[in-house]
Chains A and B, each alone.
Chain A
Amino acid sequence: MNKNRAAGLLFLIVGIYGSVLSLQLPLGNWREPGPGMLPLGLSILLSVSGLLWLIIGKEKKGEKRKEEKAAWHGVTQKLTTPLKILGVTLAFILVIERLGYLLTSSLYLFLLFFWISRYRWWLAIGLSLLISVGSWYFFGRILSVRLPQGFLL
């Protein structure tokens, strides 16, 4: 499946999902349009767009097809770092209110510096402590941003 068809499929799925949910809302009439009327119209148009991309987004011939295949071939290797970042960020969000900003941001930055940026452990610890304490002081003290305190503070 090429990129256009993959996008077409996504549009179609969201469009059908939106249509089903919109039909459960009051549609009203032209005199008094209900809350479901516009979302239904938009979902139908989105489904049609998705269907069009699925149909017309044909495989390309020759060189471009090869390039596209090459792009898909390396996709798992390319995805490793973004997936690691997403995983660490998800963990940050899940624990920040329990552990508080200082501890969570220190652990988060340490994982990014050590695991993804490949710094030595002592440098990763130093950088993460420096940045998390600095950002806590800047945001929390100077800018008075409400940061989660957790059980430590």
Chain B
Amino acid sequence: MDVLNNLLSGFQTALSFKNVYLCFIGCVWGTMVGVLPGVGPLAGITLLIPVTFGLDPTGAIIMLAGIYYGAMYGGSTTSILMNIPGESASVVTCIDGYQLTLKGRGGAALFISAWGSWVGGTLSVIGLMLLTPFLANFATKFGPPEMFAILLIAFILLGSLGSGSFFKTMPMVLLGFLISTVGMDPLTGTLRFTHGIKELYDGIDFIPVAMGAFGIAEILITTEESLVRIIHKVKFRELLPTREELRASWAPIFRGSGIGFIIGLLPGSAHVLASFISYISEKRLGKRSEEFGTGRIEGVAGPETANNAASGSAMIPFLGLGIPTGPAPAVMMIALMIHGVRPGPLFISEQPHIFWGLVASMYIGNVILVILNLPLVSLFISLLRIPFRILFPLILLICLVGTYSVNASLFELFVLLGFGVFGYVFRKLEFDIAPFILAMIIGPMIEMAFRQSLMRSGGSFSIFWGSPISLVLILFSCLLFLWNIYRGLRPHKASWEKALEEGK
């Protein structure tokens, strides 16, 4: 009953004219950034952070979350119609989606994709609504050792899910962690690696780093080569799937919801992994598996549902534990912190109107997105007709203004540019940037939990296996670490590992 009452009050918050409007803006902007290759949800959310300054925290998170799940809807459109994934989670959709377009069934693929996204998105919001309060309540019992143990698991998972190769991702995680230590030590006040630069006393801000390493680096990579785009037109009546296509997509949609929800809880490239595992499952379970890759509707329904379900469940660790599992939830967390709200175990009890307002808005947003993505698909596709040589100066300017607007700091513009070069160089060297960014966020938390635990135990490491919870978590992280070493050393890679690498 509590859940229903809370949800009802959440709907009262979310259904105010202002919040519905903000949810709509977030969904439209999210679909646009999802459609445009090179502008992912991370850049989309970061660019609108300045817009949230005049809003209350509830309105701000409703709009930013709308961008996040909206981008997942939009990403499928270009995959199906143009064979260009709008964002990395839609790479798998290209395989059968584009083949369906070539067969004249692109409209039906878009319909099934939107329908599956709605089912996956809605089911994952139900999971989010039920699981987050439970997880947050459980996490209030955590002391520093338990927090350290859970962060250690997140840390190792970052290394294992980044780009499929543990040995390639781990140095990036270590580098991100090391950079997070720049600034004043929170326990002793000692300055670390500041070189006398006043602007570094508070550490390196996450937003210019993320904008540079993703946004600027993406522009630099894209401008190396020109893109030739062939756009297939879709008529409204072509959107209707046949009875056979509808029947074939039911089971993949429900399986994709489950797969996406579970994988979305893991840190790293959960969306890419969720859509790929869903595709592999459908191929194995399908009656005519040899036809996958030639335009099977199941190959669109499963992965598209899975990546939307993953976007809902990825919000659970961030809202319930204060641990973001991906760069986009990390930016949303920073945006909430700018408004003086800190996600974590006490978030739901202290700010119930924000949490339940967000949950309710996600139900509303999923409906808005289905309406936006079906009849208006041609409108969004027309965005791709804007030449990239007009688009990239605009994106660069927005990155610069977006970064400057947060603290009005010229120094942060240098950080933006510096990390743009950093992101470009490491992308060229085929090293994944996302684990680096996430380690920057998780780093200070893990250091604090580690040092507080040792200070509490008087220097004894037994505190980390003193309680049953931390013992189980530490054992699990050890097993995970060993499994990753084995995975990194064996000569042949699993198909999902190859997919993660290709997804980058």
State the majority secondary structure of interface residues on A.
Answer: helix
Q: Which chain A residues numbered 79 to 124 have a C-beta less than 8 Å away from chain B?
A: 81-82, 85-86, 89-90, 92-93, 96-97, 105, 108-109, 112-113, 116-119
Contact between chains at B401 and A145 (CB < 8 Å): yes
Contact between chains at A50 and B171 (CB < 8 Å): yes
If A38-B450, A42-B174 touch, whether A93 touches B394 (CB-CB below 8 Å) is no
In the bound complex, residues from chain A placing their C-beta under 8 Å from that of B347 are none
Contact between chains at B185 and A43 (CB < 8 Å): no
In the bound complex, residues from chain A placing their C-beta under 8 Å from that of B175 are 11, 14, 46
Cα distance A29–B392 in the bound complex, in angstroms: 51
Contact between chains at A42 and B431 (CB < 8 Å): no
Q: Which 8 A-B pairs have the closest CB atoms?
A: A31-B459, A117-B389, A30-B459, A35-B185, A112-B393, A49-B171, A82-B220, A145-B405
Q: Which chain B residues numbered 425 to 450 have a C-beta less than 8 Å away from chain A?
A: 425-426, 428-431, 447, 450
Contact between chains at B171 and A143 (CB < 8 Å): no
Interchain nearest-CB distance for A110 vs B (Å): 9
Cα distance A119–B420 in the bound complex, in angstroms: 25
B interface residue count range (under 10 / 10 to 19 / 20 to 34 / 35 or more):
35 or more
Interchain nearest-CB distance for A23 vs B (Å): 12
Contact between chains at B417 and A90 (CB < 8 Å): yes
Interchain nearest-CB distance for A97 vs B (Å): 6
Contact between chains at A135 and B397 (CB < 8 Å): yes
In the bound complex, residues from chain B placing their C-beta under 8 Å from that of A42 are 174, 177-178, 181
Query: Of A4, A36, A38, A86, which contacts B417 at CB under 8 A?
Result: A86
| Interface residue? B214 (CB, 8 A) | no
Cα distance A146–B221 in the bound complex, in angstroms: 30
In the bound complex, residues from chain B placing their C-beta under 8 Å from that of A38 are 181, 447, 450-451
Query: Of A49, A53, A85, A131, which contacts B223 at CB under 8 A?
Result: A85
Q: A6-B429, A135-B401, A143-B54 are in contact. List 4 more A-B contacts (CB 8 A).
A: A31-B455, A39-B192, A135-B398, A143-B53
10 contacts between A and B (CB under 8 A): A31-B458, A33-B454, A33-B455, A42-B177, A46-B171, A49-B174, A109-B393, A131-B393, A144-B54, A145-B404
Contact between chains at A52 and B167 (CB < 8 Å): yes
Interchain nearest-CB distance for B390 vs A (Å): 7
In the bound complex, residues from chain B placing their C-beta under 8 Å from that of A35 are 185, 187-188, 190, 192
Cα distance A18–B174 in the bound complex, in angstroms: 11
Interchain nearest-CB distance for B219 vs A (Å): 7
Cα distance A46–B176 in the bound complex, in angstroms: 11
B190 nearest CB neighbor, chain A only: A35
In the bound complex, residues from chain B placing their C-beta under 8 Å from that of A109 are 393, 397
| Interface residue? B486 (CB, 8 A) | no
User: Which residues of A line the B interface, CB within 8 A?
Assistant: 3-4, 6-7, 10-11, 14, 18, 21, 25-26, 29-36, 38-39, 42-43, 45-46, 49-50, 52-53, 78, 81-82, 85-86, 89-90, 92-93, 96-97, 105, 108-109, 112-113, 116-119, 127, 131-132, 135, 139, 143-148
Cα distance A116–B223 in the bound complex, in angstroms: 9
Cα distance A82–B394 in the bound complex, in angstroms: 16
A32 nearest CB neighbor, chain B only: B455
In the bound complex, residues from chain B placing their C-beta under 8 Å from that of A21 are 192-193
If A34-B188, A36-B192, A127-B390 touch, whether A139 touches B405 (CB-CB below 8 Å) is yes
| Interface residue? B408 (CB, 8 A) | yes
Interchain nearest-CB distance for A107 vs B (Å): 12
In the bound complex, residues from chain A placing their C-beta under 8 Å from that of B181 are 38-39, 42
Cα distance A35–B413 in the bound complex, in angstroms: 28
Contact between chains at A81 and B224 (CB < 8 Å): yes
Contact between chains at A46 and B178 (CB < 8 Å): yes
If A7-B426, A89-B417, A109-B393 touch, whether A82 touches B223 (CB-CB below 8 Å) is yes
Contact between chains at A92 and B193 (CB < 8 Å): no
Query: Of B171, B413, B458, which contacts A53 at CB under 8 A?
Result: B171
> Which one of A4, A113, A143 has the highest number of Cβ atoms from chain B below 10 Å of its Cβ?
A143
Interchain nearest-CB distance for B265 vs A (Å): 26
Contact between chains at B178 and A119 (CB < 8 Å): no
In the bound complex, residues from chain B placing their C-beta under 8 Å from that of A108 are 393, 397
Cα distance A18–B171 in the bound complex, in angstroms: 14
Cα distance A118–B401 in the bound complex, in angstroms: 24
Cα distance A25–B393 in the bound complex, in angstroms: 43
Cα distance A3–B168 in the bound complex, in angstroms: 12
Contact between chains at B178 and A43 (CB < 8 Å): yes
| Interface residue? B231 (CB, 8 A) | no
Contact between chains at B220 and A85 (CB < 8 Å): yes
Contact between chains at B430 and A3 (CB < 8 Å): yes
A79 nearest CB neighbor, chain B only: B224
Contact between chains at A46 and B53 (CB < 8 Å): no
In the bound complex, residues from chain A placing their C-beta under 8 Å from that of B459 are 29-32
Cα distance A118–B171 in the bound complex, in angstroms: 40
If A34-B188, A81-B224, A85-B223 touch, whether A131 touches B397 (CB-CB below 8 Å) is yes
Contact between chains at B174 and A46 (CB < 8 Å): yes
B273-302 contact mask (Cβ, 8 Å, vs A): 1 or 0: 000000000000000000000000000000
| Interface residue? B154 (CB, 8 A) | no
Q: Which chain B residues numbered 186 to 232 have a C-beta less than 8 Å away from chain A?
A: 187-188, 190, 192-193, 216, 219-221, 223-225
Cα distance A112–B223 in the bound complex, in angstroms: 12
In the bound complex, residues from chain A placing their C-beta under 8 Å from that of B220 are 82, 85-86
Query: Of B177, B396, B398, B410, which contacts A97 at CB under 8 A?
Result: B410
| Interface residue? B50 (CB, 8 A) | yes
In the bound complex, residues from chain A placing their C-beta under 8 Å from that of B414 are 93
Contact between chains at A7 and B167 (CB < 8 Å): no
In the bound complex, residues from chain A placing their C-beta under 8 Å from that of B410 are 93, 96-97
In the bound complex, residues from chain B placing their C-beta under 8 Å from that of A144 are 53-54
Interchain nearest-CB distance for A17 vs B (Å): 9
